[in-house]
Structure 1
Amino acid sequence: MNKPRIPSLRLLGGFEAAARLGSFSRAAEELYLSQSAISHQIQQLEEQLGQPLFSRVGRGVELTVAGEVLLRSVQLSLDALRSGLARIGTYLDPGLVVLVCPAPLQQGWLLPRLAALQQALPGVCPLLSTDETARYVDELDVDINIVARPLQQPGLLEQPWLQDEQLLVASPALAQRLAGLPLAEHPAHVSLLCLERTLTAGSGHEALPAMLAGFRRSLILDDARLLQDAAERGLGVAWLSRWQVADASAGGRLQMVAGYPAQAGQQWWIARAAGDTRAPLVAQLYQWLLDEAATTG
């Protein structure tokens, strides 16, 4: 089956303007064309499609059923094209660096350091993404990627970045109340807030440790940021990443629960294109992230 021929953008643009404005003459004014030019474009488009797209109504026009179907498709396509053109303009900014990083790490480790980053690299404009499906570093969509395991993509420079830990945390008031009780009595006084994937994580670092087996689960969430928020509100204790809660701990919003040792967590990796980068600031930001991790980790 042959694919239908796609009309030229010139014809589709004239059609979209006439359909949106309900008038060939107003479309002509908007596009700086004559009314006869718009009429000719619409005639050409109708001949290519084999369908009438407009019917005359008084001094204006209205869409036929075929015209309404085409208008929806054209507007979606034009919106996508405008969005793509806007992205191109954005990527021409020499200071832009696209950094993909899991949301919990951005929340607890990266965002509190943005002021220091801007001071160290005043020309950089980070575009921060939490899209963990963007695993390929291609120097257009992704400049730097922070991931849970090596990408093993040809042409990459990648190395271990931050070593994480898992901690049992609670609001300061709740942590202090538990500190006055024997560990064996904790499950009777507080419930456990859970991240959904920790319930199926097997023996991985996110799995709930045996020391928490006696706690009643009172809330299960699929977003670690919401789990942290629930813990800060004093709704229970939560098993969370050290680096995710670093800012909340430093700000006194969360506290490690005494008597529950930290356990080894995720080893995070960082990657960029090897050799010369798309812009010097990409390599500079990459090195700043490495240096900052070495200082704090």
Structure 2
Amino acid sequence: MSRQDRLPPMQALTMFESAARLASFTAAARELGSTQPAVSQRVVQLEEALGTPLFERGHRGVTLTEDGERLFEAVHHALDTIRAATAEIRARRTPHTLTLSTDFGFATYWLMPRLSQFKALMPDVDVKIITSQSVFDPSHDQADIAIAFGDAHADWTARGVVKLFPEHVVPVCSPAFLAAHPSLRTPSDLPGVPLLHLEPTQPARWLSWADWFSVHGLDAPAAHRGITFNSFTLVAHAAIMGQGVALGWAPLVDELLATGQLVELFDTPVVTERGYLLVTQRTATPVINAFRQWLLGECGLDME
């Protein structure tokens, strides 16, 4: 390779490109984590190697000469091409991951039976599921997507919120429990049987038995007559075991009703403005978009 064909040092070209783009040696040093004298020295060395000035120095910064403009165009394009190529290589080498936050009930009764379908569509995606009964906080919880229960009109500091299911609640129990309590015919008969409670929150985030009785114009029985659990998964399991009557949220109990593990006591659903919400808080990636589209399709919603 002849001396004229030999490329200047990459570090000098990088510093030149930054200084030319920012029109300042000081700003270039700040961007590159270097010092102004170091940037200036590298540029001077580059000018000496090329035998021509690349900048006109002034009190308010630097401007490119004609030769500097030509070199900047070539170097800027080359560095952009290198950045794009290295980013693509890193992306192919980095495992695709999706972190999803939701509550125990939704994860157990709705998501898990369907998750294999998503994995079949995107087998290379590593899915991490985080469950909690606490209110989802987009500003602190580390998740790409959340399926959270709450009010769609709340101040969610996230990039997008879509209501997947409204809060739709019916009393449910096991077939054996209903057979053992044939007098259960109307809502007014419920105070005479054990009730299964989901531990409330303050402020209230979901329907309680007290709310359900109030909607039907009835006085709620004392809570101590029933059993209280801190997750809906335990509530549903206790109902299946015949330990009492529970409030059943759609779509969590849909499969349990369809398979006969639970039965709906009365055709008296209570529907509120709350519900399960899809909360997207990360910048959209192909994996996030794919999961979002799959989820909306599973919920019977139009693709976005």
TM over 0.5: yes
Q: Is the 8 A contact 1:170 1:255 kept in 2?
A: yes
**Could you tell me how far 1:134 is from its partner in structure 2?**
5.2
Q: For 2:165 and 2:205, how far apart are their aligned partners in 1?
A: 21
Q: For 1:151 and 1:124, how far apart are their aligned partners in 2?
A: 31
Q: CA 1:187–1:137 in 2, change beyond 3 Å: closer, same or farther?
A: closer
Alignment of 1:223-242 (within 5 A): 223-242=231-250
**Could you tell me how far 1:153 is from its partner in structure 2?**
2.2
Q: For 2:203 and 2:129, how far apart are their aligned partners in 1?
A: 28
Q: Is the 8 A contact 2:102 2:146 kept in 1?
A: yes
Q: CA 1:120–1:231 in 2, change beyond 3 Å: closer, same or farther?
A: same
Counterpart of 1:294 in 2: which secondary structure? coil
Q: Partner of 2:32 in structure 1? A: none
Q: Is the 8 A contact 2:163 2:278 kept in 1?
A: yes
Q: Is the 8 A contact 2:173 2:262 kept in 1?
A: yes
Q: Is the 8 A contact 2:197 2:208 kept in 1?
A: no
Q: Does 1:117 align with 2:122?
A: no
Alignment of 1:244-255 (within 5 A): 244-255=252-263
Alignment of 1:48-63 (within 5 A): none
Q: Is the 8 A contact 2:99 2:130 kept in 1?
A: yes
For 2:230, the aligned partner's letter is D
Structure 2 residue ranges without an equivalent (≥5):
1-92
Q: TM-score, normalised by structure 2?
A: 0.55
Alignment of 1:25-174 (within 5 A): 93-131=94-132, 132=134, 135-136=137-138, 141-147=142-148, 148-149=150-151, 150=154, 152-153=156-157, 156-174=159-177
Q: TM-score, normalised by structure 1?
A: 0.56
**Could you tell me how far 1:175 is from its partner in structure 2?**
2.9
Q: Does 1:257 align with 2:258?
A: no
**Could you tell me how far 1:176 is from its partner in structure 2?**
4.3
Larger C-alpha radius of gyration, 1 or 2?
A: 2
Q: Is the 8 A contact 1:137 1:145 kept in 2?
A: no
**Could you tell me how far 1:205 is from its partner in structure 2?**
3.3
Q: Partner of 1:4 in structure 2? A: none
For 1:284, the aligned partner's letter is A
Q: For 2:99 and 2:164, how far apart are their aligned partners in 1?
A: 18
Q: For 1:99 and 1:203, how far apart are their aligned partners in 2?
A: 20
Q: Partner of 1:192 in structure 2? A: 195
Q: CA 1:96–1:275 in 2, change beyond 3 Å: closer, same or farther?
A: closer
1:260-291 CA-to-partner distances (Å, cap 9, x unmatched) read x11114322212247642xx111100111111
Q: Partner of 1:268 in structure 2? A: 276
Pick aligned residue for 2:296 from 275, 290, 293: 290
Q: For 2:227 and 2:282, how far apart are their aligned partners in 1?
A: 44
Q: Percent identity?
A: 23
Counterpart of 2:295 in 1: which secondary structure? helix
In the comparison of the two structures, how many residue pairs are matched? 198
Q: For 1:213 and 1:193, how far apart are their aligned partners in 2?
A: 17
For 2:157, the aligned partner's letter is Q
For 1:282, the aligned partner's letter is I
Counterpart of 1:197 in 2: which secondary structure? coil
Q: Is the 8 A contact 1:196 1:221 kept in 2?
A: yes
What root-mean-square deviation, in Å, do the aligned CA atoms of Structure 1 and Structure 2 show?
A: 3.3
Q: Is the 8 A contact 1:145 1:272 kept in 2?
A: yes
**Could you tell me how far 1:293 is from its partner in structure 2?**
1.1
Q: Partner of 1:84 in structure 2? A: none
1:183-210 CA-to-partner distances (Å, cap 9, x unmatched) read 355544x321222318x77796335322
Q: For 1:119 and 1:176, how far apart are their aligned partners in 2?
A: 42
For 1:242, the aligned partner's letter is A
Q: For 1:121 and 1:293, how far apart are their aligned partners in 2?
A: 19
Counterpart of 1:128 in 2: which secondary structure? strand
**Could you tell me how far 1:232 is from its partner in structure 2?**
0.9
Structure 1 residue ranges without an equivalent (≥5):
1-91
Q: Partner of 1:206 in structure 2? A: 208
Q: Is the 8 A contact 2:169 2:248 kept in 1?
A: yes
